[in-house]
Chains A and B, each alone.
Chain A
Amino acid sequence: MKYFFSLIILLVVVFRAHAQIEQFPKIQPDDIEQHIFTIDSSATAVVLMEKGETFIESSDADRAYMVFHNYKIRIKILKQEGYDEANFTIPLYKFGNTFEYVRNIKGSSANLKNGKLIHTALQQKNVFYENNSEYLKLVKFTLPDIVEGSIIDVEYTVVSPDIFNFRTWNFQSNLPKLSSEYNVRIPAVYNYNVVLKGALKLNDTKSYLDKQCLFIHNTRVDCSNITYSMNNIPAFKEEAFMLAPKNYLSAVYFELIEAYGAQGNKQSFTKKWTDVDRELLSEKSFGGQLKRGNLIKEIIDPAIFAITDKHERADKIYHWIQQNIKWNNYYGKYSQNGVDVALRNKNGNIADINLALIAVLNAADIEAYPILVSSRENGLPHDLHPVISDFNYVIAGVKIDGELIQLDASDKLLAFGQLPIRAINGQGRIIYSKKSSEWIPLENKIVSSTSFIFNGKLGEDGKIRGKLNIAQNGLDAYHKRKEILNFNSIEEYEEALDSRLTNMSLESLEISGLEESNNILLVDMDVVIETGQHLSSSSFVLNPIFIERTVKNPFNLDTRFYPVDLGARKHESYEINIEVPEGMTLISGPSNNNLTLPNNSARYLYRSDFKNNTLSVIQRLSLAKPYYSEDEYFGLKELYSRMIQQQKIDFNFKK
Chain B
Amino acid sequence: MKVLNSKLLFFFTLFFLIHSATYAQQYAAELIPKSLKSRATAVVRDEVVNIDMKNESNISHHITKAVTVLNKSGDQHGALTLFYDKTKSIKDIKGLIYDEFGKQIGKFSVKDFKDYSATDQVSMFDDIRVKHYAPNVYTYPYTVVYTYEVTHNQNLLIPYWRPNVQADLAIEKSSFTFSSNSNLKLRLKSQHVLEPTIHEDNGKTTTYTWTVSNINARKNEPFSPLIYKDEVFVKIVPETFQFFKKQGTINTWHDMGKWMYEELLENKQDLPQSTKDMVIAMTAHVSSPQEKAKILYQYLQNKTRYVSVQVGLGGIEPYPASYVDKLGYGDCKALVNYMQALLNTVGIESLYCIVEAGNDKISLDENFANVVDGNHIILCLPFENDTTWLECTSNKNPFGYLGDFTDDRLVLACGSSGGKILRTPSYTPDQNTQLRKAHLTVKEDGSLEGTVNTIFAGTQFDNHYPNVFKSPNDQVKALKSYYDIDNIMFHNCAYTVEDTKGLLLIEDMDISVKNYIVKNASTFIVMPNLFNTIRPIVESKNRVNEVYINRGYKDVDEIQYIFESKLAGKIVPLDTTIECPMGRYELKVLNDEQGVTMTRTFQLNQGLYPPEAYSKFFEFMKEVAAMDKIKYTLNMNF
B520 in contact with A649 (CB, 8 Å): yes
* B496 part of interface (Cβ distance < 8 Å): no
Map CB proximity to B onto A469-513 as digits: 1 under 8 Å, 0 otherwise: 000000000000000011110001001101110110000000000
Complex Cα–Cα for A81 and B622 (A): 40
* B536 part of interface (Cβ distance < 8 Å): yes
Complex Cα–Cα for A644 and B633 (A): 17
Chain A: minimal CB distance from B616 (Å) = 15
B525 in contact with A649 (CB, 8 Å): yes
Known: A42-B473, A326-B138, A645-B515. A502 touches B73 (CB 8 A): no
* A133 part of interface (Cβ distance < 8 Å): yes
Chain B: minimal CB distance from A55 (Å) = 31
> Contact residues of B with A, CB < 8 Å?
39-41, 70-73, 114-117, 119, 124-125, 136-138, 168, 302-303, 305, 307, 309, 326-329, 395-396, 469-474, 476, 480, 484, 486-487, 489, 514-515, 518, 520-521, 523, 525, 527, 536-541, 622, 625-626, 631, 633
Map CB proximity to B onto A627-653 as digits: 1 under 8 Å, 0 otherwise: 000000000000011001110111010
Contact of A140 among B124, B138, B473, B540 (CB under 8 A): B124
Interface residues of A in 516-575 (CB under 8 A from B): 532, 541, 551-553, 556, 558
B124 in contact with A142 (CB, 8 Å): yes
B520 in contact with A588 (CB, 8 Å): yes
Complex Cα–Cα for A580 and B527 (A): 26
- CB-CB nearest in chain B for A133: B116
* A83 part of interface (Cβ distance < 8 Å): yes
Interface residues of A in 572-594 (CB under 8 A from B): 588, 590-591
Residues of B within 8 A of A132 (CB): 116-117, 119
Contact of B136 among A80, A346, A485 (CB under 8 A): A346
Contact of A488 among B71, B117, B625, B633 (CB under 8 A): B71
Residues of B within 8 A of A498 (CB): 539
Known: A133-B117, A488-B40. A147 touches B302 (CB 8 A): yes
Interface residues of A in 122-140 (CB under 8 A from B): 126, 128, 130-134, 138, 140
Complex Cα–Cα for A326 and B537 (A): 38
* A328 part of interface (Cβ distance < 8 Å): yes
Residues of B within 8 A of A645 (CB): 486, 515, 518
Complex Cα–Cα for A100 and B626 (A): 61
B115 in contact with A142 (CB, 8 Å): no
Complex Cα–Cα for A640 and B486 (A): 9
Known: A133-B117, A142-B329, A588-B523. A487 touches B538 (CB 8 A): no
Known: A42-B472, A147-B328, A644-B486. A499 touches B539 (CB 8 A): yes
Contact of B486 among A130, A144, A553, A588 (CB under 8 A): A553
* A44 part of interface (Cβ distance < 8 Å): yes
Contact of A87 among B41, B72, B307, B487 (CB under 8 A): B307
B471 in contact with A652 (CB, 8 Å): no
Residues of A within 8 A of B525 (CB): 648-650
Chain A: minimal CB distance from B398 (Å) = 14
Chain B: minimal CB distance from A299 (Å) = 15
Size of A's binding interface in residues, CB under 8 A: 64
B469 in contact with A80 (CB, 8 Å): yes
Residues of A within 8 A of B329 (CB): 142, 144, 146
Complex Cα–Cα for A296 and B307 (A): 54
Complex Cα–Cα for A134 and B129 (A): 12
Complex Cα–Cα for A187 and B309 (A): 43
Known: A79-B469, A347-B136, A558-B489. A133 touches B114 (CB 8 A): yes
* A104 part of interface (Cβ distance < 8 Å): no
- Chosen A-B contacts, 18 in total, with CB atoms closer than 8 Å, are A42-B474, A81-B469, A120-B328, A128-B309, A130-B117, A145-B326, A145-B327, A146-B305, A347-B138, A485-B72, A486-B72, A492-B39, A502-B536, A502-B537, A502-B622, A556-B480, A556-B484, A650-B631
* A168 part of interface (Cβ distance < 8 Å): no
* A600 part of interface (Cβ distance < 8 Å): no
A130 in contact with B125 (CB, 8 Å): yes
Residues of A within 8 A of B622 (CB): 502-503
Contact of A502 among B305, B489, B514, B539 (CB under 8 A): B539
A144 in contact with B73 (CB, 8 Å): no
Complex Cα–Cα for A442 and B246 (A): 63
Residues of B within 8 A of A128 (CB): 124-125, 309
Contact of B538 among A126, A138, A488, A499 (CB under 8 A): A499
Residues of A within 8 A of B116 (CB): 132-133
Chain A: minimal CB distance from B443 (Å) = 15
A134 in contact with B124 (CB, 8 Å): no
Complex Cα–Cα for A130 and B125 (A): 8
Chain A: minimal CB distance from B131 (Å) = 11
Given A120-B328, A145-B327, 7 more A-B residue pairs with CB atoms under 8 Å apart are A142-B329, A146-B328, A346-B136, A488-B39, A503-B536, A588-B523, A588-B633
* A345 part of interface (Cβ distance < 8 Å): yes
Q: Quick one: which of B39, B117, B625 has the most chain A CB within 10 A?
A: B117
* A158 part of interface (Cβ distance < 8 Å): no
Complex Cα–Cα for A144 and B329 (A): 7
* A323 part of interface (Cβ distance < 8 Å): yes
Residues of B within 8 A of A44 (CB): 471
Complex Cα–Cα for A148 and B395 (A): 11
Interface residues of A in 275-292 (CB under 8 A from B): none
- CB-CB nearest in chain B for A587: B633
Residues of B within 8 A of A134 (CB): 114-115
Complex Cα–Cα for A558 and B395 (A): 31
A142 in contact with B307 (CB, 8 Å): yes
Residues of A within 8 A of B527 (CB): 648
Map CB proximity to B onto A285-329 as digits: 1 under 8 Å, 0 otherwise: 000000000000000000000000000000000000001101010
Chain B: minimal CB distance from A602 (Å) = 17
